[in-house]
A and B are shown apart, each in its own frame.
Chain A
Amino acid sequence: MKDTNKRYWKGLEELRNDENFVKNANSEFAQNAPDSSNYDSLVDGMGTHRRDFLKVLGFGMAAVSLAACETPVKKAIPYLNKPEGEYPTIANWYASTYAEGGDYASVLVKTREGRPIKIEPNTLSGISKGVSGRVHASLLSLYDVEKLKGPRKGEDTKVSWEQVDKEIMSQLAQVATSGTPIRLVSSSVVSPSTKAVISDFIAKYPTTQHIQYDANSASALLDANSTSFGKAAIPAYDFSKAKTIVGIDADFLGSWLAPEMFSMQYAETRRLSSAKDGKRDMSRHYQFETILSLTGSNADYRSAVKPSQIGLVATTLYNKVASKMGAQTISAPALTIPELDKAAADLIASKGESLVVCGVNDPAVQTIVNSLNSLLGSYGSTINLGASMNIRQGSDKAMNGFIDELKGNKLGAVLFLDANPVYNHPRGAEIAEALPKVSLSISFSDRADETGSLVKYICPSSHYLESWGDAEPISGFYSLTQPTISLIYNTRQAQASLLTWAGKNADYHEYVKAFWRSNIYTQGAGGNFENFWIKALHDGVFEPGKGTTTSGGSFTGDVAGAAASIAKTYKATSSAIELALYEKVGMGTGHLANNPWLQEMPEPVTKACWDNYASLSKQTAAELGVEQGDVVKVDLKGKSVDLPVIVQPGQAIGTVAVAIGYGREKAGKSADGVGKNVFPMASFANGYLSFLPGEVSVSKTGDFKEIAQTQTHDTVMGRESVLQETVLAAYKKDTMAGRFVPKIETSEGPKEATDISLWNGHKYPNHSWGMVIDLNTCTGCSACVVACQSENNVAVVGRQEVINRREMHWIRIDRYYSSESVDSTAGLEKASENPEVTFQPLMCQHCNNAPCETVCPVLATTHSSEGLNQMTYNRCVGTRYCANNCPYKVRRFNWFKYFDNENFDYHFNNDLGKMVINPEVTVRSRGVIEKCSMCVQRIQEGKLTARKERRRPQDGEIVTACAQTCPTNAITFGDMNDPESAISKILEVEREGRAFHMLEEINVRPQVSYLTKVRNKEAAAQNTEA
């Protein structure tokens, strides 16, 4: 023990005292590190620019292997020439735009070692805040192995681009010279430069006509606006200015037009503060709808109406408002719904700050709604006619015209751009039949989908993360799309193909730049174009439309004519069962169906995933003698589908609702055969696509199919320490209204539960990370669920495992319906027929007195000095004791090995799919517990950055994936030790107000607080629970 100063040497060089070694011994970085090569510009023609995919593939693979717990590193290839701006382990962000399938989001793309790994909201955007689950999931589609790897002639013959171009151009020329029509069918094109490309194409082939259609159409709204205001456009809605909001079958928080944008605006009207002079007022929201939509779930007053009555909701409401305001009433059958009177009164009371929105694709109904909004003075305040929303431009009539032409064998060539009408158009079967007869048909689809497999040529367009592009979702708001990775497959973006065929320079990047130079730069950008361009690329957005005044218009529509049409179409009472088709929040219209993240995202209201189903109200299900899971045949005049039943409280009695977007046949292994395609059941009413196609017969087939739901118990069982809610009137009187403060009887009188403890508590000398979740602004949209899945490499487990109640999501959104009765246990267990709905996001609560920490035999879960409950995966032996003892049930066990496992054939099972893995987060091995870490990797990174800069981390600098993506800012994350942080400020005013800890009486002291849900209802209408 005398001499412990043994000499250790790092290598033979040190032992030998090698001259070279001694010279460099003290320098931190080796001098002979690989030289960083210089690359002048993005496209220097060398084919070696900084986002070169292949070059970083090697490192990417290594990172994937490293990330996989206990897997040996197989391929570790260091950079030979390190790309400029690319540092291993350091992420880069690129601003870009997602504009597909009717969705728009301005995003930041996080890339690591050249591969995009996360989509984040672009905070510089004036119109898009937060990123929906679908946009998050679009990242995974980049790494979809089932995409086409190059152009195809027919479904199966591989060809080269040169060959394709040669053949197509000669055929197009032939068609054009013969004068036969060419049709370019697309979904709504939001990109102004793409429109220019299309014009160029039309200029070259003048028989071309561009047809836009939307799978979930707003064609009637466009046409109604055209007759009402002389402008066939969707105006920009601003819910944030509205005091009374009435939604008529418009799921504006879930699927109508631009739900993320509307959610942001809507939440502003629902945000409250218990501060002394805080905002104590909120909008009142009425919803009249058939299904219980996400929007309806958030409404203060919600009424279920049948599809055959929906038009009358508009006319009755119009008449009630008009009669009180002394305007001309219209003649239509009146509906007796008490909420209609209340809604009318509130609309009039908040005149000028009212908004009525309607999602029915019927121009007559839309005309009445326009007139009603006009009457209420909404135009110019909550609706801006001066700006148009370009995300829906499709015309149902034009599309029907195209199909007739196609069937009439009149077309020479058809091109499908971002369109799959064989699948998502009700007349898809007719297209499928007629399409093979067209001599030249081309699809730009990334796979041989339902339409693509029938065309002559598939020219796969690149994923948006590999592409250039731009978008103008609302007039005056521009954004850019830029590639964040080199092409993975031999694809070419559709614009480049069109340009090639139009005989132009196929460099779409240059094209967009030139287009912006001549059209957008000129809109008051000022300065040098190159600087403007670099700034626009950096910011992702350019918004000259910001700050322009809201303008109205004078209503010139034919109200009486519309009323007559409505009176003819709709009935006040109907006894038959009617079908309603709807779009799900996650799946949308199904264009991203082959996406395991989306398939596994629970639908916010039903909590079901991996399926569509026939929703029935409790009463209708009882009348039909069916229970949840019974397969029924829904027959609409001969068109029928067999679907399992889901019993849905809140749905209109005498209706059956089925979601579109399912039943893909040629999308890939995650999508094919999941659910049934109900687009063919949609109908056309006066040429407009109708998702309310009429009466159906529903009959039991005798089969049974269990529905995969992540939550199967619907009510909160009157547990006030779980869910605390109140009504606005009560809250105005007392900010503690609805709060449940448990007291424990002791010998010294009643004490607060948290005052009695066996625990010593923890000291957090530095940071104390926490979260506040506002139940009032959370709409339940579930964007956070997918964001978390993407950030934290959460495994997809598939339908059967969800049925087995083993989904792995680290954050879930509990959805509770109010109970039928509070008098008995049985009554508490049943949801009421038209329930109040509450959403409660739940992740690990990071308890200070954590029940999980004490029971782990091997100390695999411990407490950090910053308030985090930490999980050490490689120490876990998998007893699951912690999960059992978690009162919030947020811990997840790896029942199987979810990667490299044929039974879980999702993206973790192939090398390309694994490129999406976040290298900062371990991929968990079989047999260990995992759970929310409050994105500890982000906390660590933020702290390191701050330390490098010799400063404290600033509030807002570190943010969890869920908080970051929340479109309504319902989640606030931060350091509770920092008195200046947003979370501290909220807690300061809400501690004696709305803030509560879930299950306070068990004294686990979570780091996560909730703010009570406040409904803008009359106190009397509130049930006795509150």
Chain B
Amino acid sequence: MHVTSSVRPPLITGGKTYADVTEDICRQVEGKPTKEWKIAFTISVIVLAYGTACLFWTWWEGLGVWGLNKTVGWAWDITNFVWWVGIGHAGTLISAILLLFRQKWRTSINRAAEAMTIFAVLCAASFILMHMGRPWLAYWALPLPNAFGSLWVNFNSPLVWDVFAISTYFSVSLVFWYIGLIPDLATIRDRAQNKVSRYIYGTLAMGWNGSAKTWARYEYISLILAGLSTPLVLSVHTIVSMDFATSVIPGWHTTIFPPYFVAGAIFSGFAMVQNLMLITRVVYRLEDYITLEHIESMNKVITLTGSIVGVAYLTEFFIAWYSGVEYESYAFINRATGPYWWAYWTMMTCNVISPQLFWSRSIRRSVTWTFFISVIVNIGMWFERFVIIVTSLHRDYLPSSWAMFSPTMYDIGDYIFSFGFFFTLFLLFSKYLPVINMAEVKSVIRSSSEKLPAKVAGVAKGERVANPTFNKDAE
């Protein structure tokens, strides 16, 4: 049971009771789909259908429908892959690291953030498949016993590490998310009005009975999974960064990549969580669960990680100059001043400058600004990956092979596919599963039913003021 000092601002406002929580969250699951949801879902499915058609044609004709060439062998495919994996970082960070650090505010957002993680990782995985020349042989990247003789995977290859890293991350995230869902699924099962949903949610709840023992096991497993996934938060993007860092290409071959990629991933992940939660918050009227405090906390994380990323950008430049390596120096001059300068400066503006706006409290606590800057951050992080991949490749060692990359409608279409896929899944999730972890949120509701006197204002009511009046009252 969570006991908080009465002077702490409550995590959940509006004086919600347990019944209120159940009611508020289950309403969305149990009720008929809203008009907004239907519209959003229809759009997502149309986008998905268009993207699927593009993807089908990509696979039917070959990767030549993309804009890649002999020099630039990866562009939007791996940009999108890294971008989605990065987005997928927030979920585990919120559910695992914040759990270990006992950041209770995470309870309102971890469910949706984990769902986002899982869907983002699925999108990322789709690009792994998509970028292959022969995707039907993708299983060759797995160390499966086979009848091809002594053929095995190449454990030296960062792509194989990727396969392990992403699949581990996906499995752990999925299990973590699902385990967290079980008490809530049981709640829905218990409230279910018809046999079908009782059966479905009952099956998914796996016989949860709410006994002290199940709760204890729930707590144990959460802690164990949190412990397991904490290193994953760091390792996944570290390994993704090694796709580049272990290569010989100037602009890729840098030791700074692992921390820089992890920071960037958290940066973009939180921005995406902001985007999704802000919409959910309004549509599902969850303002009491996802309060401005939540938004502000996440904005602080965005500013911190954005600043780390900014320092990393500058460090790269310094090292390129300091190393005296001709090729690396040129790679960075070319990034900033070459034909893709616009991509570089888009990245710099979006990732380094825009999060600094959050130093202003009013911007940090403004829903509109938060939403806007989060979108900007995600655009910036997409460009970061584009800059790293394309501007490094397009002018590497031999000037004879220098080339430009420009996307075709299939590069764009296949990216759109991932959006359709992501939002379709997320909308299904938000309709059929509780978007907020009811069980955990209940645990952070103030334990006392005591209400503060009406005259008490300020922090205790969730407002922050310079001179809290309750202190005067105490006097």
User: Chain A interface (Cβ within 8 Å of chain B)?
Assistant: 711-717, 719, 721-722, 801, 804-807, 812, 814-816, 825, 840, 842, 851, 854-859, 875-881, 883-885, 887-889, 891-897, 925-929, 999, 1002, 1004
Contact = CB atoms under 8 A, between A and B. Distances in A.
Given A877-B133, A885-B247, A859 B401 contact: no
A825 B333 contact: yes
B154 A877 contact: no
18 contacts: A714-B399, A719-B327, A719-B397, A815-B400, A842-B398, A842-B400, A854-B157, A856-B157, A856-B159, A877-B137, A878-B132, A878-B134, A879-B159, A884-B73, A884-B247, A894-B133, A926-B62, A1002-B248
A925 B243 CA distance: 26
Interface string B200-212: 0000000000000
Contacts of A929: 133
B141 A719 contact: no
A3 B69 CA distance: 57
B301 interface: no
A877 B128 CA distance: 11
A855 B74 CA distance: 14
A721 B71 CA distance: 20
A467 B141 CA distance: 53
Interface in B48-79: 61-64, 67-71, 73-74
A715 B396 CA distance: 14
A814 B400 contact: yes
B74 A877 contact: no
Contacts of A854: 154, 156-157, 246
B62 A711 contact: no
B153 A857 contact: yes
A895 B134 contact: no
A889 B159 CA distance: 20
Contacts of A815: 400
A86 B141 CA distance: 44
Contacts of B152: 859
Given A721-B326, A881-B157, A927-B133, 10 more contacts: A713-B399, A714-B399, A804-B64, A855-B157, A857-B154, A880-B68, A889-B70, A889-B398, A893-B63, A927-B134
B138 A713 contact: no
Nearest to A1001: B325
Contact of A927 (B73, B132, B249): B132
A926 B58 CA distance: 12
Contacts of A859: 151-154
A345 to B, nearest CB: 36
A875 B146 CA distance: 13
B330 A881 contact: no
A894 B62 contact: yes
Nearest to B131: A879
Interface in B356-400: 393, 395-400
- Which 5 residue pairs across A and B have the least CB separation, nearest first? A878-B133, A927-B133, A895-B64, A805-B69, A814-B400
Q: Which of B69, B70, B140 has the most CB of A within 10 A?
A: B70
Contacts of B61: 896
B151 A877 contact: no
A816 B399 CA distance: 9
Contacts of B64: 801, 804, 806, 895-896
A715 B140 CA distance: 41
B134 A876 contact: yes
A890 B74 CA distance: 16
B470 interface: no
A897 B154 CA distance: 27
B403 A805 contact: yes
Contacts of A889: 70-71, 396-398, 401
A816 B400 CA distance: 8
Nearest to B399: A713
Contacts of B398: 722, 814, 842, 887-889
A522 to B, nearest CB: 54
A167 to B, nearest CB: 51
- Say whether chain A's binding surface is mostly helix, strand, loop, or mixed: loop
B402 interface: yes
A857 B163 contact: yes
Interface string B277-308: 00000000000000000000000000000000
A885 B396 CA distance: 10
Nearest to B150: A859
A929 B63 CA distance: 12
Interface string B13-56: 00000000000000000000000000000000000000000000
- Say whether chain B's binding surface is mostly helix, strand, loop, or mixed: loop
Interface string B127-149: 00001111101101100000000
Interface string B389-422: 0000101111111110000000000000000000
A445 B346 CA distance: 61
Given A805-B70, A806-B70, A814-B398, A858 B63 contact: no
B389 to A, nearest CB: 9
Nearest to B128: A879
B402 A878 contact: no
Contacts of B337: 825
B158 interface: yes
Contacts of A878: 63, 132-134
A714 B156 CA distance: 36
A812 to B, nearest CB: 8
A897 B399 contact: no
Contacts of B401: 711, 888-889
A858 B146 CA distance: 13
Given A801-B64, A825-B333, A895-B63, A885 B400 contact: no
A792 B75 CA distance: 29
A336 B442 CA distance: 95
Given A877-B137, A878-B132, A713 B400 contact: yes
A719 B402 CA distance: 14
Nearest to B403: A805
B160 interface: yes
Contacts of B399: 713-717, 719, 722, 816
A857 B135 CA distance: 13
Interface in B435-452: none
Contacts of A884: 73-74, 247, 249, 393
Given A857-B153, A879-B159, A926-B133, A893 B248 contact: no
Contacts of A807: 70
Interface in B183-200: none
A537 B305 CA distance: 79
Contacts of B402: 712-713
B337 to A, nearest CB: 8
A927 B62 contact: yes
Q: Which of B134, B137, B247, B398 has the most CB of A within 10 A?
A: B398
Nearest to B395: A713
Contacts of B327: 719
A81 B330 CA distance: 66
Interface in B96-136: 131-135
A851 B247 CA distance: 7
Contacts of A805: 69-71, 403
Interface string B150-184: 01111011111001000000000000000000000
A925 B63 CA distance: 13
A855 B247 contact: yes
B248 A885 contact: yes
A465 to B, nearest CB: 33
A875 B133 CA distance: 12
Contacts of A876: 133-134
A722 B140 CA distance: 36
Interface in B298-344: 326-327, 330, 333, 337
Contact of A893 (B133, B135, B140, B158): B133
A341 to B, nearest CB: 35
A716 B393 CA distance: 17
A788 to B, nearest CB: 16
A714 B398 CA distance: 11
B70 A883 contact: yes
